[in-house]
């Protein structure tokens, strides 16, 4: 398992992984230019945040066609359609998160289909040209 990013709980998680003798690589903050390497080497993506606005990392994982598991919170739940393009779990329920991870690892065909569905969502709703066209339409509408 690889954990990318920083957070206030990093040291506690490193100690826990050591105590449990679980192989976890904590790489810390990664420059944007290096992120594709991590996405492309991953089997799945987990976003356990308890608070999210517009989760850029989740959209990046979608673009990489990764099966995604996210906390059922605003922002994440607005992008993950549970069972279609990813799986949701209740924050604070580590057993539920572990079950979601196990289910995707046990069903690689389902995981692959969810990843492809996530990629389609990004291509459909977050394509730069489409985003700019919607923004321009909004601005022109307001300017009238």
Residue 116 counted as domain residue: yes
Residue 3 counted as domain residue: no
What's the confidence (pLDDT) of residue 121? 96
pTM: 0.87
Domain with 78 in it: what CATH number? 3.40.50.2000
Residue 78 counted as domain residue: yes
Residue 12 counted as domain residue: no
* Number of domains, the chain: 1
The residue ranges of DSSP E strands in the chain, in sequence order, are 2-4, 25-28, 45-47, 68-71, 87-89
Alpha carbon distance 81, 6 (integer Å): 27
pLDDT in tens, 71-117: 999 999 999 999 999 999 999 999 999 999 999 999 999 999 999 99
Residue 8 counted as domain residue: no
Residue 13 counted as domain residue: no
- Kindly indicate the confidence band of residue 31, based on its pLDDT and cuts at 50, 70 and 90: very high
Alpha carbon distance 28, 51 (integer Å): 20
Alpha carbon distance 71, 52 (integer Å): 9
Residue 60 counted as domain residue: yes
Residue 93 counted as domain residue: yes
Q: Which residue has the higher pLDDT, 131 or 1?
A: 1
Q: Which domain holds residue 63?
A: 45-143
């Amino acid at each position: 398992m690889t954990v990318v990013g920083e957070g206030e709980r990093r040291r506690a998680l490193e100690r826990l992984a050591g105590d449990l003798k679980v192989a976890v690589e904590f790489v810390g903050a990664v420059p944007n230019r290096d992120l594709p390497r991590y996405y492309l080497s991953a089997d799945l993506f987990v976003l356990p945040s308890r608070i999210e606005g517009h989760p850029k990392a989740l959209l990046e994982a979608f673009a990489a066609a990764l099966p995604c598991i996210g906390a059922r919170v605003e922002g994440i739940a607005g992008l993950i359609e549970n069972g279609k393009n990813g799986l949701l779990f209740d924050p604070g329920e580590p057993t539920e998160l572990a079950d979601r991870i196990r289910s995707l690892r046990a069903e690689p065909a389902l995981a692959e289909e969810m990843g492809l569905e996530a990629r389609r969502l990004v291509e459909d709703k977050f394509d730069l040209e489409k985003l700019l066209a919607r923004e321009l339409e909004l601005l022109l509408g307001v300017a009238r």
